[in-house]
């Protein structure tokens, strides 16, 4: 198998869990890629020989971003809704229906090419693993095809039939989501998710939907406490879910429940940026001992950014995270939030997924917001 030495790395973020510092930083570093995996990391001066050699000229290298929350399968856009919101119209969950109509009207080819474009946009910004949800089909056929499209791009596909009640009786819709729609979705999905929020699904409905999903072999995730206080975060903790996403409005008992259950709080600061809502308080969660991930939530309504670097900058500026915590949250914690131990760190045995920054350190991701610092992204040992 071909080996490649990537050397003259000014600063290497390994996320080695054995290291004394959070990021497992190595200065003047190198790493060796063998096939798709990391075979060696350390000081450049100590590096072994390899078949090929890439000199990064002192640039920093971070693990590829693991974006554990996105909604990329959709058609149309909602730029006018965004403009209206910026002119004072409040955000509400119902805008999802606009995208549902456009998505149902799109062909499979249109949906696929649109997802391909967004995944490529993410890759150019350093994202190497992305979770993709359905949730803009909301019929048996359209949810199944949304997941089949997503599956072409990632193993991390999430069935979100319970995004919003499209029309009619909510009870009947929950029966559909937990019955025929689940049967059609399960073969294409690894996860099941519910938008547990006023205007969407309540905690009892979420419990029923996640329970049905578990029965079909799908692991649960939850959108909760985005728009106001509620029971969603405590439900996630009670069910022992791996991650609960948004966590903007948290009572003290919610924070305690997350700490006690070990459930990861995935914060999505692009949403608050794009809706002018208050940001979640990452500092409070981390200080309480809760694991925090950050992700893009890329979607056409509440947050149409695919940029994890932007989310890192926002997490530092607006949520009280240090640059090191934010980078860790977008890589290592993102991998944990997807139960992946093969990505999210640049240590021996993991997949060689990395982002090369045109910068001397990871700090620049927050220090230079909006600047396209990612100059190369490697996935499974191959530069893109």
By the criterion CB under 5 A, which residues form the site for Zn ion? 297
CA distance linking residue 81 with residue 68, whole number of Å? 25
Residue located via tokens 């971003």: 65
**Nearest distance from C-beta of residue 11 to Zn ion, angstroms:** 32
Q: How far is the CB of 32 from Zn ion (least distance, A)?
A: 38
Residue 26 or 264 having the CB closest to Zn ion: 264
Using the minimum distance from each CB to Zn ion, give the nearer residue, 67 or 297. 297
Q: Is 104 exposed, middle or buried (0-12, 13-18, 19+ CB in 10 A)?
A: middle
DSSP conformation class of 22: T
Cβ closest to Zn ion, residue 7 vs residue 296: 296
Please say which residue, 14 or 103, places its beta carbon nearer to Zn ion.
103
d(CA 215, CA 141): 21
Q: Nearest approach, Cβ of 51 to Zn ion (angstroms)?
A: 43
CA-based torsion, 12, 13, 14, 16: positive or negative: positive
Q: How far is the CB of 70 from Zn ion (least distance, A)?
A: 8
C-alpha to C-alpha distance for 332 and 130, rounded to whole angstroms: 13
State which residue, 10 or 270, has the beta carbon closest to Zn ion. 270
- With CB atoms as reference, the residue minimizing the distance to Zn ion is 297
Strand order in the sheet with 292-294: 132-133, 157-162, 191-196, 219-224, 243-246, 264-267, 292-294
- Whether 279 contacts 318, CB under 8 Å: yes
CB of 19 to Zn ion, least distance (A): 32
Cα-to-chain-centroid distance, residue 319 = 17
Residue 4 vs 306, nearer CB to Zn ion: 306
Rounded distance, CA 105 to CA 126, Å?
Answer: 32
Shortest reach from residue 193's CB to Zn ion, in Å:
8
State which residue, 15 or 70, has the beta carbon closest to Zn ion. Answer: 70
Least separation in angstroms between residue 308's CB and Zn ion is 15
Measure Cα distances from 234 to 69, 105, 364 in Å. 20, 37, 36
CA dist., res. 50 & res. 34, Å (int) = 9
Answer yes or no: are the C-beta atoms of 126 and 374 closer than 8 Å.
Answer: yes
* Smaller CB separation from Zn ion, 270 or 344: 270
Q: How far is the CB of 201 from Zn ion (least distance, A)?
A: 13
Phi, psi of 349 (to 5 degrees): 105, -25
């Amino acid at each position: 198998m071909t080996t490649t030495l990537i050397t003259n790395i000014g600063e290497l973020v390994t996320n080695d869990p054995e290291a004394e510092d959070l990021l497992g930083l190595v200065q003047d570093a190198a790493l060796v890629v063998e096939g798709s995996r990391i075979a060696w990391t350390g000081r450049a001066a100590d590096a072994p020989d390899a078949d090929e050699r890439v000199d990064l000229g002192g640039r920093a290298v971070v693990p590829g971003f693991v974006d554990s929350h996105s909604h990329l399968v959709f058609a149309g856009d909602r730029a006018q809704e965004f403009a209206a919101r910026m002119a004072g119209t409040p955000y509400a969950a119902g805008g999802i229906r606009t995208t549902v109509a456009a998505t149902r009207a799109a062909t499979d080819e249109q949906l696929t090419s649109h997802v391909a474009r967004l995944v490529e946009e993410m890759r150019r910004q350093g994202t190497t693993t992305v979770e993709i949800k359905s949730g803009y089909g909301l019929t048996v056929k359209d949810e199944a095809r949304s997941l089949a499209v997503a599956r072409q791009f990632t193993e991390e596909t999430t069935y979100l039939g319970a995004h919003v009640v499209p029309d009619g009786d909510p009870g009947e819709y929950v029966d559909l989501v937990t019955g025929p729609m689940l049967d059609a979705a399960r073969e294409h999905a690894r996860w099941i998710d519910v938008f547990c929020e006023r205007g969407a699904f309540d905690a009892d409905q979420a419990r029923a939907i996640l329970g049905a999903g578990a029965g079909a072999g799908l692991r649960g995730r939850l959108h909760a406490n985005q728009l106001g206080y509620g029971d969603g975060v405590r439900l996630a903790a009670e069910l022992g879910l791996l991650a609960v996403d948004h966590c903007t409005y948290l009572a003290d008992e919610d924070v305690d429940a997350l700490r006690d259950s070990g459930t990861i709080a995935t914060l999505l600061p692009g949403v608050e940026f794009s809706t002018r809502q208050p940001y979640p308080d990452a500092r409070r969660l981390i200080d309480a001992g809760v694991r925090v991930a950050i992700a893009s939530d890329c979607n056409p309504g509440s947050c149409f950014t695919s940029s994890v670097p932007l989310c890192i900058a926002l997490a530092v500026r607006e949520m009280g995270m240090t640059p090191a915590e934010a980078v860790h949250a977008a890589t290592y914690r993102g991998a944990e939030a997807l139960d992946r131990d093969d990505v999210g760190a640049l240590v021996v045995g993991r997949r060689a997924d990395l982002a090369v920054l045109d910068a001397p350190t990871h700090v620049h991701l927050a220090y230079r917001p909006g600047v396209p610092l990612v100059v190369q992204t490697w996935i499974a040992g191959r530069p893109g």
